[in-house]
Structure 1
Amino acid sequence: MSTTTISGYLLDRLAQIGVESVFGVPGDFSLQFVEKIVDHKIVEWVGACNELNAAYAADGYSRVKGVPGCLSTTFGVGELSAINGIAGSFAERVPVVHVVGTPPTEQMKDKPLLHHTLGNGHFEAYSKAAEHFVVASAILSEPSTAGAEIDRVLIDCVTKFRPVYITLPTDLVNAVVSATPLQIPLDFTIPENDTATEAAVLDVIVKQVSTAQDRVVVIVDGCALRYGVTGEVKDFLRKTKFPVFVAPMGKSAVDESYERFGGVYAGRPSLPAVKQTIEQATLIISIGAICSDINTGGFSHELPKTKLIELHSDRTEVFHAVYPRIGMKHLLPKLTTKLPTPASLMPMTSYAYPVPEEEHDGITQPWLWPTVGSHFRPGDVIVADTGTSAFGTLDIRMKSGSVYMTQTLWGSIGYSVGAALGAALAARQCKMGKTYLFVGDGSLQLTVQELSTMMHLGLKPIIFVINNSGYTIERFLHGPTQSFNDIVNWKWTKLLDALSDEKAMSESYKVATKTELDQLLSKPDFGKVITLVEVVVPMFDAPPILRRYRQ
């Protein structure tokens, strides 16, 4: 019987499911495991500047690559620093594996007055805190059960699309276990729907679609991305030719170059033509909805149950009837087969956010977003931070194969910088296009250190720093002129020089006029190295959709 170590078993399992990078910060109780990562033939170690950013990076990596992100921290001080990032992944349904190096098993039992503890013997306090933000935990304590425990939580991570937590005591890192189970791939199969119930649901939906004729629209939301049904959605749309829209969290779940793509629906803040098309439809098919406040325009969706069919990962709802355990992964392909190709198509307004004509040369947000978006290419990765960037990028029509990410539900400012690290690394591994990061001057100050990590890894994201002199998104909420919404105006174009080593190649620019930005974006060599562009915009300016949120 072949053998391996517990750490080797875990790393080999991660490699089997497509993980090539583990993010983190080394700490005394995790050093032995980090050493095993460095020595692994497939999985690489990516040292972040702090644990919070490592958690953000694991999240961004997962969203781009479609496999769990992974981070390693040390007991107590390290894992608690990461917990905000893990909570965000839980809220937004992103699979992440958090491996925590702990003291040896005997000390975990005896609870001496050890560093990184609370000094009261409550060694379990951290794992109990983690329980609120993960779907499964494996508290490894003996070699005989370690492999099975690792397999159990990895299956939960992949099939439930949320973070999991694994503790690895220092004395078990090199403990010998059987390697035989590694010869059998983990089973991530989603259980089939109940045949009889599913057939009845299909008949009901087909009947309602037939009754509605050419007055059917589709809204695709974030769970279509998270639960891996974008391929099934694409087939469904190509067959039915229904007009399709996305909610903010569903952006990039649909190929936005598709001729029947109608734009972003967010309730009241939506473009009038979008709102009218959806709310006047006879039947609305919602796929993977996440009905949070910002995602629905402050709960302003006008989608009455009497004309709404909802497809979810764990249930289907037709009007007021709920069918538990009839999931969209298996239902959608069968629905696509059963629905006929329509005899006529519902008319719809072409989706476009044209660049506005403005008499002055100053940069405004209504002008900025469609201008920058016109330079995107297929397969690019777009990362936007909470704030005006998250709203502004909604007005950009993404190219085919693009990945878009922000934190619409969790909304932790600074998330985008760490996430861009993981996203850019995953994009390189997947041979995708450029990575764009849009971040406000206030948000960047929280997590700016990871620009250093990006340069260390040779990543080349294009970073747009939206300099509007503080927390403009918060000025819209409360205290537009209050000092607590002001920040120190850093020398933004000096950041890459300050955070790099002597070998790093970078470029930085400051633009304050349309002419300057147009000329910069038109440069043939723009973005060949990591590039930071400080974009100066008025303090109280905002993207159009954000202004409509306030109406």
Structure 2
Amino acid sequence: MADIAQAAKTAVQDIGKRIPRPQSVGNYLLSRLHELGCNVVFGVPGDFNMEFLDQIEDFDGISWGYNANELNAGYAADGYARVKGGGGKDGMGVGAVCTTFGICTLFPNYSLFLVEQHLANLTVYEGVGELSCVNAIAGSEAELVSVVHIVGTPSTVSQADGAILHHTLGNGDFNVFARMYKEVTVAQASITPENAASEIDRVLRLCVLKRRPVYIALPTDVAAKTIVADMKPLDLRRDVNPKDAEDEAVKHLLAILEKAERPAILVDGCCQRWHVESQVRKFVEKSGFPVFSAPMGKSVVSEFHAQYRGAYVGEHTPKPIRDELESRDVLLMVGAIKSDFNTGGFTFHVKPESLIELHSSYCKIFHATYNVGFEGVLRKLTERITHRPWALPAAFEPGTPGVREDSATDITQTFFWTELGKHLAVEPYCVVAETGTSSFGASALKMPRGSRFVSQVLWGSIGYAFAASLGTALAGRELESPLRTVLITGEGSFQLTAQEMSTFLRHKLTPIILIINNDGYTIERYIHGETREYNRTAMWKYARSLDYYSVDQDKATYPRFGLQQRIVKKQDVAGALSRAFQEKDAIHVLEIVMDKMDAPQGMVKTAAKTRAENKYNGDS
């Protein structure tokens, strides 16, 4: 093992030296992942990936994730990639997950459509495998997250023979699962010793440049095969805008912006996905324009910045913020993602003749479209625009109002989010919020520069946040300025991915875990079935989760346990939050008990629109 470890260390040291040298296929892949800022591979062992897992365990600079199941591992890789996006080569880190071939323990509802397209009569076996991860990878595809899914497959000999192996369909087709993944990844590769270096480089490059997941099939007898490969750095240069087209677009933009009487900027999710946050901030500073954010663009600009005006979610926006944005004669929208939850149910009310959109591959100026991406355009705009300071009234402070009136004793949504916001405003944190009550509540809280906000607004897979926060916590620990993770999730969502609590302990992570217990799926109750039993989850002792997932024999390896508290009364909230935020060397679990029909008003309005769209109105 010492020889393997030394070979792995040498592989890392050789990156950038252009030294063709013998090394295993597995070590070549790991060296490339490390080059991209990936220091952990999440996943679960299975018989077809374990030769490669030996190499991961012996590789200097990459650790193993120790996940409870593959779905959680995929979520963790997604969360890791979102935070490490600012920490990898050229600011483009990736996440990685490794599973074995085929079977699944779980069939997430969101991935069934893929399975049904290809396997109408699939028998589901208990066990580990790549199919458990497909939902997580589909979410990364939808939300533009760079995740590498490595699948240990049967040996090349077994595949060539068409062997009837376990974890297969018994028909000799070893490519059926890869064909499924073709629907939710930007590139795929089946690795052989002959193509290993070129194929690994190809898919990893596309993973970074396209901001989407990729799929690598690594046969169990190929991982340890020796190859000789040139270790020059990956070519991650992005396409440069044609100079004449870019200059024409910038000239057009400057002419409009410098004549505008009430211009403003609206930042959205693709600013983060394509890592142009710093360019956006420079443009905001240089222009002096007021700036707003869409939900998926939260934390791109400090929400305490003098020019920041608030979050815009269409008709769900507080009236003062909505009136201010919609009255602008020119709105420059950067990195728009026009999904339903991100736009208040498609209720953006900005006139086309006032709207300018800058995207990663094109820019739309009113009714004219230029095939140039926003990175070069933003840089030139910042250099050339004339700064105009604007006299802005005091920013409206919306908070997160709930539907229940405040109470002297009970914890209401309005009260809780106000108390939590006091702590998140003090210093940067990575806030991970589950879709539903948690994301709608947290999205209105003001966060300072350097903060990260992670929420799966588009894909919206329930249970995502808890497992993703494992990835954000590991990534946050690796950053030059470390970020502590604050997780906010509902008790129903927590039940789907709770197994990763043991993985938090194994990695000695110290997040603050806030579990909102409102006795079931509140967002679903507002959509349909307010009194139906299917919207109520079985009750757990959520605040005692650390006790359940810890054992005496491993306690010496755990982080310090902080608060494990079930909070029912309003008077106990402030003290518990203060202690959790002050004790940074401990992991805390706070169960916050609220009324089952109390919810952020933005969520209630969104659910009402969804309910109306889903309502059966009779045969046409």
Cα displacement (A) at 1:354: 5.1
- Look up the match of 1:345: 390
- Look up the match of 1:266: 313
Q: Which moved more, 1:187-196 or 1:286-295?
A: 187-196
Change in Cα spacing, 1:113 to 1:508, as seen in structure 2 (3 Å) is same
Selected match of 1:277 from 298, 310, 324? 324
Q: Which moved more, 1:349-358 or 1:31-40?
A: 349-358
**Is 2:441 the counterpart of 1:392?**
yes
Kept in 1, the 8 Å contact 2:399–2:445? The answer is no
* Alignment length (residue pairs): 545
- Look up the match of 1:134: 185
Selected match of 1:307 from 351, 354, 371? 354
- Where has structure 1 moved over 6 Å in runs of 4 or more? none
Residue type at the aligned position of 2:207:
C
Distance 2:67 2:416 in 1: 31
SS of aligned partner of 2:60: coil
**Is 2:572 the counterpart of 1:516?**
yes
Kept in 2, the 8 Å contact 1:378–1:433? The answer is no
SS of aligned partner of 1:108: helix
**Is 2:489 the counterpart of 1:454?**
no
Counterpart mapping for 1:188-199 below 5 A: 188-199=236-247
Selected match of 1:27 from 46, 65, 77? 46
Residues 418-457 of structure 1 show CA distances to partners (whole Å, capped at 9, x for unaligned) of 1000000111111423211111010000000001100111
Distance 1:259 1:300 in 2: 27
Selected match of 1:53 from 72, 79, 92? 72
Kept in 2, the 8 Å contact 1:30–1:73? The answer is yes
Residue type at the aligned position of 1:535:
I
Kept in 1, the 8 Å contact 2:332–2:358? The answer is yes
Selected match of 2:263 from 216, 241, 246? 216
- Look up the match of 1:529: 586
Counterpart mapping for 1:27-426 below 5 A: 27-66=46-85, 67-77=93-103, 78-140=129-191, 142-179=192-229, 181-182=230-231, 184-213=232-261, 215-324=262-371, 326-342=372-388, 344-345=389-390, 347-353=392-398, 358-376=406-424, 377-426=426-475
Q: Tell me the TM-score normalised to structure 2 length.
A: 0.86
Residue type at the aligned position of 1:492:
Y
Q: Which moved more, 1:353-362 or 1:513-522?
A: 353-362
Kept in 2, the 8 Å contact 1:236–1:336? The answer is yes
Kept in 2, the 8 Å contact 1:363–1:537? The answer is yes
Distance 2:391 2:599 in 1: 33
Change in Cα spacing, 1:110 to 1:346, as seen in structure 2 (3 Å) is farther
Cα displacement (A) at 1:116: 0.5
Distance 1:138 1:209 in 2: 46
Residues 245-296 of structure 1 show CA distances to partners (whole Å, capped at 9, x for unaligned) of 1111111111222111111111000111111111100000000000001100
SS of aligned partner of 1:375: helix
Residues 328-386 of structure 1 show CA distances to partners (whole Å, capped at 9, x for unaligned) of 111101011111011x4153541424588945221111111121121124231100111
Distance 2:379 2:584 in 1: 40
Cα displacement (A) at 1:487: 0.9
SS of aligned partner of 2:64: strand
Distance 2:349 2:423 in 1: 34
Residues 447-473 of structure 1 show CA distances to partners (whole Å, capped at 9, x for unaligned) of 000011001110011111100000001
**Is 2:511 the counterpart of 1:444?**
no
Residue type at the aligned position of 2:172:
G
Residues 399-422 of structure 1 show CA distances to partners (whole Å, capped at 9, x for unaligned) of 220111011000000000110000
Residues 458-512 of structure 1 show CA distances to partners (whole Å, capped at 9, x for unaligned) of 0011111100000001011011111110111111122110111221332300111
Kept in 1, the 8 Å contact 2:543–2:564? The answer is yes
Q: Which moved more, 1:483-492 or 1:426-435?
A: 426-435
Residue type at the aligned position of 2:591:
E
Distance 2:366 2:576 in 1: 52
Cα displacement (A) at 1:158: 0.5
Distance 1:404 1:348 in 2: 27
Distance 1:484 1:548 in 2: 22
Cα displacement (A) at 1:304: 2.1
Distance 1:13 1:483 in 2: 50
Residues 293-321 of structure 1 show CA distances to partners (whole Å, capped at 9, x for unaligned) of 11000000012221111000010001111
Cα displacement (A) at 1:24: 0.2
Selected match of 1:486 from 532, 536, 540? 536
Q: Tell me the TM-score normalised to structure 1 length.
A: 0.96
Kept in 1, the 8 Å contact 2:96–2:147? The answer is yes
Task: Give the aligned CA root-mean-square deviation in angstroms.
Answer: 1.5
Distance 1:306 1:387 in 2: 34
Change in Cα spacing, 1:168 to 1:19, as seen in structure 2 (3 Å) is same
Residues 181-214 of structure 1 show CA distances to partners (whole Å, capped at 9, x for unaligned) of 21x111111111111111111111111112213x
Q: Structure 2: where are the runs of 5+ without partners?
A: 1-19, 86-92, 104-128, 610-620
Residue type at the aligned position of 1:49:
A
Cα displacement (A) at 1:86: 0.4
Q: Which moved more, 1:57-66 or 1:429-438?
A: 429-438
Distance 1:355 1:15 in 2: 41
Change in Cα spacing, 1:346 to 1:212, as seen in structure 2 (3 Å) is farther
Change in Cα spacing, 1:24 to 1:391, as seen in structure 2 (3 Å) is same
SS of aligned partner of 1:523: helix
Distance 1:516 1:60 in 2: 31
Residue type at the aligned position of 2:73:
A
Cα displacement (A) at 1:107: 1.8
